[in-house]
Structure 1
């Protein structure tokens, strides 16, 4: 009898396999439509779920040796090594030490600078196309002759003058296609996603207006491109034109996101376009069409807010870089509101009232901007901004200039010890594919962390109950009766105020959580943008003081050690806006803070011994997450 049953089972499998092959399925068993009871209830409750059910972690801003400002100053690792490292493999860094992630990333964008893309590898291989160019041969001979710094300085001078001394589209295509081929070979849908992208490095007058360009598409659409560069234009609107032409010509999809407004000297979220004209509805709509996100945190400082702009926020002064731009002009106070995300989001609400569209309605992500090919974002595993400051490079790791005092001397300089091991992008999606991740970015259901993998989710609605935060169907409830991060909440029932449900979970191999906060922005009756921070949920039995401030969580940090004996592993928060005015536009985003932990400098000191660091060196810090906002609009 057992043999007979076994035969029947095998026969059924053979039949099903034949049917699958007949219907075009490979390696799977197809079920014909006749066997499906359409509309029937299923015992499994997950069959009909369509909302994003997992957070995927990635870095959308990583440079390899194909970026000239990486490859010409010591980075010997190309895109292949970058993808292998992100997938969890052990890789030997350029300086010689081995590196590995504690856990693989889910996705990566190798975003090399488009300006003279692949120059360093072309020099290394004595590329015939490069040697056919007089200036290219000059750089090649300097490097091969043992003077790479002279070659780098020569290249930098040409870049600063916006003069492409090579100007060879065929060379650019060749090097771009190598990166495309690398991404194609490492992309594995469902396991690891390698998205195509590059960085456009606009820097008028040494002010940072850089954008990452990220494609949704496979290699067949993006191959043979000549990536748009600062040699083509320094105006973001021209980049948008290029992106629009790409979509029109290929049927593909592309987006961009800016970073490091703190080095833009007020240009990142300026009140005028680069041509000097005021912002109008066309500009606002185009900017948010092509740049739906902003990279709010990375190695070169944190861009959420500035302590002088948020004087009542005790967490505002987090790796603040506020001396100037890239070495030629000092910062003035009037520039600050046009550099930081929190204030730009509030100013965007005012623009929405005045011109009918919001030019600063962006979601928030983090990424590294590492130039080592190694996406290391943890404080205990920080391989630095560039290969010349990797572990083992001695005093240079702390004293090397990130912002060089080109004109103004030490007043504007920023050294490597002032960097932070940041950041990561978290994307809520259903599957690990290019399409699902890109779509999460497009709808702004993404968030930033300063390096750790804090899971956070927020929903806004009009009738959530406090107990629903703790229900196992929290997310289903949130999508059913509210909106997630990155979405719009429109006018609710008469007399109602928005209700928010937030959940946060610590990094499984990281620090406990201190608190959940909601940051609100609005425009008051006088037309002035306003922001305020509300504590929503916190660990322990702390109570707000007389001024409404929650006492610090404390600290267990001792050098490079800390313990999770304070804080909690998970927090749930329920909040109703106590100051809601239904006639006023508003935004709300969540900030989650970990308990204090050692900085990368503390880990370095424990490993190498006393470093004799400057007095302002940060030895203890608090990693954090920033969600994309939810926007409230009165009409709708």
Structure 2
């Protein structure tokens, strides 16, 4: 059932246009009205607002970013994320519309330090024939620079890098250690507890056969712990592409330093089915009890949307979901050395992975794919831009220009990821008690996060057993939500009785963005026959629309003006809230639930480029889309388990 208010009942705007929810302590909430403090905002202990950030960004220190011309370094990236104006690598002034609250800088660990030395013509690089060849190509610019960069990346992915160059930029080498110290100390300089959180991190770049198995690592710690070790790499003999090697490093880090770390996988859509395995074997080993326990321990979060495509769902896997066909990248693996086949898709998308996790939990007693949802840019420009009208691309070659729409991201004899298919996405919202490393990290561990494709949509999602419509009459949604249920990322408490679970959901539009079309609940479950099932429910929507007999909702409409790249908020809603009860609940079936929020149609970045540069676009270029948010799931386990 739909409930629509004017931003004054369940959800209210806080200091930064976010959901501001008052949350008393559990003890106060359980007391009588007379026993509570007069101020309903006293003794608040639960998270009051989401903090917005990016878990995945590269500077010129990364091998690929630097060789493709990124000259901006960590200090530039941190200043930009905090809202300051910088000059991009192509000489363009750029600034975020709104600063971020936190960020993880994740430069690639393999060959750390090589790209800046190549740009500078370091004698150690030029002394090697291949290094000299690459430097001359880089210095020539244009097509020659691109050719040199692709040759470097090709040698990396095929593990044919010259041995002496590899040795000079791998663990044990001065350049490697110096670069890691540079990364760590830059984060420490920009960390400002309470105002902006700068996380120390890196990207572990496993890409066997061109299949993306990358993980980003985020440390909870400062330099005292972070500098006790150097990050792992994947190039032999210094590293290994098997995820077990990363898990071993994470274990050693925590044991040796007393610190804390987590890893985030991303872009399963480029893994050709390898990201979420269920069979007996996977890259490097077996899907056994050790594997599922390690993955569950170290990977509590998944990057579900970013520049290289949206990874929530795919129409082949979810044919009854009309919104599953959103920014899908399904041509092939990362370098398009192998084309995609339909049988690979189930091992690539988040919704299917969540379902597979239920099956593996049934088998092993542990769910390796019990992750929270988040978004990131994966920009290699040092610029964390996810706004359609302020999009600075994946790499320097894709920064704003009249030709970037026509320039493929990757191209091979088998196919291409065309330039116009790059996505201006995304960000992660974290429900944390304060803007500090410890509070935000801990929120990731408990999975109280959600993803958006860029807009700062406010989203609350609680699951319990006795939410009802009277709960919609309070402004203190977190008071009700945390007292009667669990937030996104949690497990439903054991049922008390025979009823179905109920969910309290509130969504608020980005205050400078588009109105909302609808709120949906996506459910996945393992049925009595051991088959994986899913269903998408429309639970709240805008305007004067009604569900048909099959639960489908008419389209919200479209106000986009293609001549001005503008739209009108004359349709849609600023706020959607509801209490929803699962009508198909089976108490004996493992299940998960997550929320998907859709905006009304708005322009994609390519339409802004068309008008700014006066260019003709390919006929297949998408000009309009519906941006969205994905909550972390809430899981249900039968009481007998």
Question: Which residue is equivalent to 1:582?
Answer: 587
Q: Greater shift after overlay, 490-499 or 139-148?
A: 139-148
Instruction: Say if 1:86 and 1:374, in contact at 8 Å, map to a contact too.
Output: yes
CA shift digits 1:323-373 (9 cap, x unpaired): 111211111111111111111101111111122111211111000011111
Instruction: Say if 2:521 and 2:536, in contact at 8 Å, map to a contact too.
Output: yes
Residue 186 of structure 1 pairs with residue 195 of structure 2: no
Change (3 A) 1:279 1:464: same
**What secondary structure, in the 3-state scheme, does the structure 1 residue paired with 2:431 have?**
strand
Counterpart-to-counterpart distance in 2, 1:382 and 1:342: 27
Shift in Å, 1:251: 0.4
Counterpart-to-counterpart distance in 1, 2:579 and 2:42: 29
Show the 5 A alignment for 1:509-588: 509-559=512-562, 560-588=565-593
Change (3 A) 1:191 1:546: same
Correspondence for 2:625 among 618, 621, 629: 621
Shift in Å, 1:140: 4.4
CA shift digits 1:456-501 (9 cap, x unpaired): 0100001111121341121011111110000111430231110000
Question: Which residue is equivalent to 2:608?
Answer: 603
**What secondary structure, in the 3-state scheme, does the structure 2 residue paired with 1:62 have?**
coil
Question: Which residue is equivalent to 2:81?
Answer: 86
> Highest CA radius of gyration, 1 or 2?
1
Show the 5 A alignment for 1:63-78: 63-78=58-73
CA shift digits 1:264-290 (9 cap, x unpaired): 000001124435754222211210110
Question: Which residue is equivalent to 2:282?
Answer: 274
Question: Which residue is equivalent to 2:149?
Answer: 152
**What secondary structure, in the 3-state scheme, does the structure 1 residue paired with 2:409 have?**
strand
Show the 5 A alignment for 1:85-234: 85-127=80-122, 136=131, 139-140=134-135, 143-144=138-139, 148-149=145-146, 151-163=148-160, 165=163, 166=165, 167-168=167-168, 169-223=173-227, 225-231=229-235, 232-234=239-241
Q: TM-score normalised to the size of structure 2?
A: 0.89
Show the 5 A alignment for 1:332-343: 332-343=341-352
Question: Which residue is equivalent to 2:375?
Answer: 366
Instruction: Say if 2:229 and 2:253, in contact at 8 Å, map to a contact too.
Output: no
Shift in Å, 1:445: 0.2
Question: Which residue is equivalent to 1:322?
Answer: 330
Correspondence for 2:439 among 415, 436, 445: 436
**What secondary structure, in the 3-state scheme, does the structure 1 residue paired with 2:56 have?**
strand
CA shift digits 1:519-538 (9 cap, x unpaired): 00001122111111001111
Instruction: Say if 2:307 and 2:422, in contact at 8 Å, map to a contact too.
Output: yes
Residue 413 of structure 1 pairs with residue 416 of structure 2: yes
Counterpart-to-counterpart distance in 2, 1:543 and 1:45: 37
Q: TM-score normalised to the size of structure 1?
A: 0.90
Q: Greater shift after overlay, 442-451 or 177-186?
A: 177-186
Instruction: Say if 1:426 and 1:446, in contact at 8 Å, map to a contact too.
Output: yes
Change (3 A) 1:150 1:381: closer
For structure 2, the 5+ residue unaligned runs are 1-34
Shift in Å, 1:120: 2.0
Shift in Å, 1:237: 1.0
Change (3 A) 1:335 1:145: closer
Instruction: Say if 2:220 and 2:261, in contact at 8 Å, map to a contact too.
Output: yes
Instruction: Say if 1:176 and 1:225, in contact at 8 Å, map to a contact too.
Output: no
Instruction: Say if 1:490 and 1:634, in contact at 8 Å, map to a contact too.
Output: no
Instruction: Say if 1:174 and 1:224, in contact at 8 Å, map to a contact too.
Output: no
Show the 5 A alignment for 1:246-285: 246-272=253-279, 273-274=281-282, 278-285=286-293
Residue 404 of structure 1 pairs with residue 400 of structure 2: no
Change (3 A) 1:178 1:302: same
For structure 1, the 5+ residue unaligned runs are 1-39
Counterpart-to-counterpart distance in 2, 1:377 and 1:329: 29
Question: Which residue is equivalent to 1:459?
Answer: 462
Instruction: Give the count of matched residue pairs.
Output: 590
Shift in Å, 1:150: 5.0
Counterpart-to-counterpart distance in 1, 2:333 and 2:160: 21
Higher relative contact order (CA 8 A, sep 6+): 2
Counterpart-to-counterpart distance in 2, 1:145 and 1:126: 13
Change (3 A) 1:137 1:180: farther
Instruction: Say if 1:63 and 1:70, in contact at 8 Å, map to a contact too.
Output: yes
Counterpart-to-counterpart distance in 1, 2:410 and 2:131: 27
